[in-house]
Amino acid sequence: EKVLKAIKEIDRLLDIMEPGTLALSFNGGKDACAVMHLVREACSLHRTHKFTHVQPIWFKNPTDEFPQLISFVRSMDGKPLSRLWTLHIASEKDFISGISKIQRQVPLRCIIMGTRRTDPGCAKLSALTASTGNYPPFLRFNPILEWSYRDVWDFIISCELPYCSLYDEGFTSLGTVNDTIRNPALRIQTKGGVKDTQGDPRSKDLVPFLALAHNVPGEDGMTVGCHPVFSLLTSLCWAGMQSAKPEGVKYKQAWFLMDETLERESRLKNARATPHTRGEKAAILVIGNEIMGGVTRDENGHFLIQELRKLGLDTVEVVMIRDDQNKIAETVRRLSDSHKYVFVTGGIGPTHDDVTLPAVAQAFGCGLQTRTEILELLNQHLPNEEINEYHVKMASIPQGSQLIRNTEGPDRWPLIVKNNVYILPGVPQYCKAKFELVRDDLKRDPFFVAKLYINESETSIAQVLQDADHDHKQVDVGSYPIMGNQDYQVVVTLESKDQYALQNALAQVKDGLAPHTIFKVE
């Protein structure tokens, strides 16, 4: 579906742009490879444009490119690319001057690029955007904006497209030699001296558009026909599932990365944006029309806040929304980017208003994958029911999701985890049961808490609390008024993971209050 959509959008661009006004940005990365072949296919089907009408441009770092990347890009010059232009770009100023120079020679109006939604700064980007500021006037067109990391690799591998050899060596996002490393998430772990042989995540379930290709077996073992737009895809096959690599390599190939949020772990300058450095903070998303309509009281949010706190995780945001797929997708994307853990509850059943799973897939730009193991569980639990579209809906989860479940006992229904998003049932008893599957993995250093029960008004002690909050940044200071109690009017809480900092803050607060106003300290 995404391949067809991309080719259709490129075709529309070709309709409105005259030959010679389009350029293709090609830097040798995986996204550029996918876009190049999509453009090539669209041009082969277009009535006026040819691929040779699209000018390929390599925006090259003049000093710090990987030798392997340079060799790969040069190998593409001539075929399938032709007349590859190279612009040396070491700064934004170089890019601006380079585009201006090109426009003095040819009527460049639009550059086709391989930008994706998950790239830094692209969360609100449109597929077609105009240059602004000091840039010369031109358009940027991003045909794979909504593609995921998984989509890109499924397309490249399934179509047997050429790609840079660095992706066979544990790199997942390529920059320069100064800011790019092998992705730690692809390091091959050893157990008792035996290498981890995790299976290749690619499959027909992960490549939904393969049903359009020649010679790809269907579920019944028969081959299926080819959609006419896929002249590019006629050579698809299932061979070459794993490229050759030298003996002793300790990293898996790039397409083995299951958690797509870790793609840019290869880029040093973006380390602060990765899930590992977001702090031990969590967000909770409660979904359901029955919650927002006041028909049902939310229990899951309160349960999760309490349990995460016990485990040493700080819940900094709780969101409640209706069963609106677009709104859920937008919220999941935002929460995932800014929190290490996101817990979603509700909306994973078989009815029309259960849209959480497709919404999470939409948030990460991936499709849905029907998992046979879930269908088998449904068949076991519902032996008298024939599998139908509603069962399939419950078994269709975001591509690349991890299933966590008990291997023993009656409750084997899995917890679904997509990247850093934990998808829990809306029914409280099931939500609690599924949370137990990951409780031990979530445990962190505990919070230390002190409480002071004070027989003074909040206004009387506000300055003392403000000073303590200012002087002790590692301590959270809270104040809560109590009505109708003769012994105390306010409960002050001090919380921190640093016990020493907590003790210092507690001493400062006590020193700032008259002793007779402190009813007790816990």
Residues 456 and 435 in one domain: no
Residue 516 CB contacts under 8 Å (≥ 6 apart), including other chains: none
Q: Are residues 329 and 407 in the same domain?
A: yes
Among 442, 467, 489, the domain-final residue is 442
Beta bridge partners of 112: 24, 141
Determine the pLDDT at residue 29: 95
Distances (CA, A) of 390 to 76, 395, 444, 485, 513: 47, 9, 39, 55, 63
Residues 435 and 452 in one domain: no
409/494 same-domain check? no
Tally of CA atoms within 13 A in the half-sphere of 196 that contains its CB = 14
Residue 85: inside a domain: yes
* Residues 382, 474 share a domain: no
Residue type, 28: G
Specify whether 23 is located in the same domain as 139.
yes
> Do 369 and 307 lie in a common domain?
yes
| Cα→Cα distances 366→97, 147, 148, 500, Å | 37, 7, 5, 46
User: What is the CB-side half-sphere exposure of residue 170 using CA atoms within 13 A?
Assistant: 16
Q: How far is CA 201 from CA 153, 170, 172, 252, 275, in A?
A: 11, 15, 15, 12, 22
Residue 218 forms part of a structural domain: no
Residue 489 belongs to some domain of the structure: yes
Q: Which of 414, 442, 470 is the last residue of a domain?
A: 442
Assess if residue 479 is contained within a domain.
Answer: yes
What is the reported pTM? 0.55
CATH code of the domain covering residue 503 = 3.30.70.2860
Q: What is the pairing mode between strands 421-424 and 448-454?
A: unpaired
In a domain, 378, yes or no: yes
Residue 430 and residue 477 in one domain: no
CA 99 to chain centre: 32
> Could you tell me if 401 and 491 lie in one domain?
no
Please count the other Cβ atoms lying within 10 Å of the Cβ belonging to residue 169. Answer: 18
393 and 455 in a single domain? The answer is no
pLDDT, one tens digit for every residue, the chain (522 residues): 899 999 999 999 999 998 889 999 999 999 999 999 999 999 998 888 888 889 999 999 888 899 999 999 999 987 788 788 988 888 888 888 889 988 988 899 999 999 998 888 887 788 999 988 888 999 999 999 999 898 999 999 999 999 999 999 999 999 888 888 888 889 886 544 434 433 334 333 333 333 333 333 333 333 333 343 443 433 333 333 333 344 444 789 999 998 888 888 888 754 333 333 335 789 999 999 999 999 999 999 999 999 999 999 999 999 999 999 999 999 998 898 888 899 999 999 899 999 999 999 888 877 788 888 888 888 887 878 888 888 888 889 998 888 998 776 667 789 999 989 999 999 999 999 999 999 999 988 889 999 999 999 999 999 999 999 999 999 999 999 999 999 999 999 999 988 999 999 999 999 999 999 999 999
Instruction: Give me the pLDDT at residue 272, please.
Output: 37
244 lies in a domain? no
Asked, for residue 167, whether it belongs to a domain, the answer is: no
Q: Which amino acid appears at position 320 of this protein?
A: M
Predicted local confidence at residue 177, as pLDDT: 85
Cα gap 505→450, rounded to integer Å: 10
The last residue of a domain, from among 120, 151, 182:
151
CATH number, domain with residue 14: 3.40.50.620
Looking at the structure, do residues 430 and 491 belong to the same domain, yes or no?
no
d(CA 494, CA 478): 7
- Domain check: are 456 and 388 in the same one? no
Quote the domain boundaries for residue 110. 2-151
**Domains in the chain, number:** 3
| H or E stretch covering 58 | strand 55-60
Burial group, residue 221, by CB count within 10 angstroms (0-12, 13-18, 19+)? exposed
- Residue 209 placed within a domain: no
